Structure 1
Amino acid sequence: MKVGILTHYDVNNQGAQLQMYALYNKLIELGHIPIILTYTKNFDFNSGERLKNQVSLKSIPYYLKNYMLKKGIGLTIFNVKKYSLNKKFRDNYFSYEGYANSNIDCAIIGSDEVFSIPVGVNIMMYGHGLLTDKVFSYAPSFGQTDTELIKKHNCTELIRSGLLKFKAISARDIHTYKTIKHLTGIDAETVCDPVLLYDFTNTRLNVKIPRQRYLLIYSYDRWMIEHSEINAIKAYARSKNLTTVSAGTYHKWCDVNIPCNCLEWIEYFRGAEAVITDTFHGSILSIITSRPMAVYIRGLNTNKLLDLLERTGLSHRRINEITFDEIDRVFDTNIDFNMVNDSINEMRRKGTEFIRKALELCLKEN
């Protein structure tokens, strides 16, 4: 079947690109023809985010003011390189069609925070406006969006009516499961993110790994900027004779900053001695590459990160604050990766079975 994928397809972010790649290739593995469905993202609730996320001539003043002047030329140049690498990657690896005029056999909504509405509502993410009624979700997330925010923007019926028409519905985390249950009464199946679902074992690229042993840092450039956090991480790295490397994002204080696409990104995790991250996909990459990690959870990703660590048996990798003692405490404990890999294999089996059954249901109704 020709299967459309609705996700955040043009985000300048390694995790978003990698989960799209993983689901796209999982569908190929299952014998289907995937198509990335394009759309214009809605930013009615936060117009500033439109300029930040949609790179165009109109966004140049925004980037000059908020990046070049406020954050420096180093970060600006890095993000330009990163955007170019990510765009080249997307152009080379995916096929695209507009969501409103694509003659697909069925559509998958997900993964990522496709149900989230802090910046605006995208009606297609709830199945509205598609040329097929064969729609199901795989590992969508509401992020930090809750029923109160949905009610505030008078979106309850819009979202509920769409979800009730799905042929099968899943959730990436327990918060999303509870929100779907509250809105529709449906017990969605909880499944893993596509980056956990797809086996990257044989996906290998030749990249220039730093020669010195290194501590990999993965955090968005707006985070890990407090002097106390920076000093703690650098002190820990020095205590272990490690270089600090930031791959995929820019941190001036790191010894090495590496722009890369999402497949190259995996290799930098594989080469690391250890990882410090405060992101969802940074944590997943640490898990699938069997790297010791310390995970700091911030308010914007509490729901999904707590759920991920609990489901993989890695709650003990959480640091309560970014201090030398906390980092040292977490890295002083070992990870039973045999147990973790057993959990991942079960999640992969469950996720694959969900997709297979949903596709079979759509095929029968065609």
Structure 2
Amino acid sequence: MKIALVTIHNANNYGAIFQAFALQEVLSRYGEVEIVDYENRHVSRSFDLVRLKPTLHGALGAGKDIFRILPRARAIKKFKAFIRTNFKLTDRLSQRDLLQNGLKDFDCYVAGSDQIWNPACVSDRREIDPVYFLDFASNGCRKISYASSLGSYVYDENEKAILKNLLRDFSNISVREKSAKEFLDSLLGGGVSHVLDPTLLLSMEEWLVRLDVNNYKAKLPEEKYILLYTVPKVPLIRKAVDLVAKKMKLKIISLDQGLSAGAAVDRQIRDAGPLEFLKLFAGAEFIVTDSFHGVCFSLNFNKPFMAISPGKHSNRLESLLGGLGLINRLIGSEDELKGFSGFESDCSYREALQSMREASLNYLTRSLEGMGAQSARLNL
């Protein structure tokens, strides 16, 4: 069976790269997988050394890129090397190529994870992109989604009609957040599954061994450290880092390509590639993060962590941590921060995580039933 996977795979973003890799790995148990090398400039612009956009915000962003151009260049080089080494891609195709000419010779098309169904994440104009809804797929072929995400985007009535039409011929639909399941169930009349992010389908051992992380040579900390990984850089991060540093009496290492770490740290690593990311998470004593994928890797690597709520964008974290009985690790206020006591490793969620992982893999088996899934089931 030949499977075409559409996802966000070509971005200077750790979470995007890892979810694409993980889903490719899992789908390969069912057949031959190729990631559709869709050239979406809104996404791939993150690989431009200096990102230029004719807006005030764009000008400020370009200035920041110039000030950190050397570590940025090193990081981008590492990301591109990871993609070349680990992804099996189709030819590079534009939206016009795909929608006008289609993509033939595949038995199944998969709309993958990440925020591919969030117009704000995939379009300069905040428009629904039909490519991420497999609108180019050959007629009669099976179309499914796995952990596709709407993020916190709210569809208006016109967009709901477009969305419903684009999803009408999907065989199976699954999403990453409980809120997205409830929304689509209401829109489509039910039948939507709630599954894990692909990064959680692989165990820690699978991540480290498959990518040979332990043998990757990089100048990483030799002493014990607390890892800070922040994406939206919510203000509460500063106080969270101060509290954890005082409590644990360890140095703070920041994994952040930006000019600032968003908090007081002992060292900021601005040029980490994907393998350094994994190595830093695997070696940390404790993790402070406001990132969804920061939490995913903390869980997978069995690290004690504090998740700082990114406010209105916290539905992903609430869905995941609520399902694992770890909502107390999601901190949204100074009072919650002062009452935090989870500085030690906690294995109580492992059984729930394994159960969710098995349910998610079973979803894929059911979705691909009759297309080689019977043999794949034996290898899960």
- The equivalences for 1:84-123 within 5 A come to 84-97=77-90, 98=93, 99=98, 100-118=102-120, 119-123=126-130
Secondary structure at the aligned position of 2:322 is classed as helix
Per-residue displacement from partner, 1:115-147 (whole Å, max 9, x unpaired)? 11223211022221223531101111111122x
With structure 1 as the length reference, what TM-score do the two structures score?
0.84
Using the alignment, how far apart are the partners of 1:173 and 1:217 within structure 2? 24
Give the Å deviation of 1:295.
Answer: 0.7
- The equivalences for 1:68-79 within 5 A come to 69-70=63-64, 73-74=67-68, 76-79=69-72
Give the Å deviation of 1:112.
Answer: 1.1
CA contact (8 A) 2:45 2:51 kept: no
Q: Which amino acid aligns with 1:37?
A: V
CA contact (8 A) 2:12 2:47 kept: no
CA contact (8 A) 2:226 2:252 kept: yes
Q: Which residue of 2 aligns with 1:352?
A: 361
> Does 2:156 align with 1:150?
yes
CA contact (8 A) 1:217 1:244 kept: yes
Seen in structure 2, the aligned counterparts of structure 1 residues 89 and 354 have a Cα distance that, compared at 3 Å, is: same
> Does 2:316 align with 1:304?
yes
- The equivalences for 1:86-235 within 5 A come to 86-97=79-90, 98=93, 99=98, 100-118=102-120, 119-132=126-139, 133-146=141-154, 149-151=155-157, 154-204=158-208, 205=213, 206=215, 207-220=218-231, 223-224=233-234, 226=235, 229-230=237-238, 233-234=241-242
Q: Give me the CA root mean square deviation.
A: 2.8
Q: Which amino acid aligns with 1:330?
A: F
Using the alignment, how far apart are the partners of 2:112 and 2:156 within structure 1? 19
Among 252, 267, 270, the alignment partner of 1:256 is 267
Q: Which residue of 2 aligns with 1:35?
A: 34
Per-residue displacement from partner, 1:74-111 (whole Å, max 9, x unpaired)? 4x433332222111111111121245335221111111
Per-residue displacement from partner, 1:160-210 (whole Å, max 9, x unpaired)? 122121111112111110121122112211111111112231432134430
Using the alignment, how far apart are the partners of 1:196 and 1:238 within structure 2? 31
Q: Which amino acid aligns with 2:310?
A: R
CA contact (8 A) 1:273 1:291 kept: yes
Q: Which residue of 1 aligns with 2:328?
A: 316
Give the Å deviation of 1:61.
Answer: 8.1
Secondary structure at the aligned position of 2:119 is classed as coil
Q: Which residue of 2 aligns with 1:46?
A: none
Using the alignment, how far apart are the partners of 1:96 and 1:68 within structure 2? 30
Give the Å deviation of 1:23.
Answer: 0.6
Give the Å deviation of 1:296.
Answer: 1.0
> Does 2:25 align with 1:25?
yes
Using the alignment, how far apart are the partners of 1:50 and 1:354 within structure 2? 28
Q: Which amino acid aligns with 1:143?
A: G
Give the Å deviation of 1:235.
Answer: 5.3
CA contact (8 A) 1:117 1:150 kept: no
Q: Which amino acid aligns with 1:212?
A: E
Q: Which segment is superposed worse, 244-253 or 135-144?
A: 244-253
Among 59, 72, 75, the alignment partner of 1:65 is 59
Q: Which amino acid aligns with 2:23?
A: L
Per-residue displacement from partner, 1:229-248 (whole Å, max 9, x unpaired)? 43552453144221111225
What is the count of residue pairs matched by the alignment?
Answer: 346
Secondary structure at the aligned position of 1:215 is classed as strand
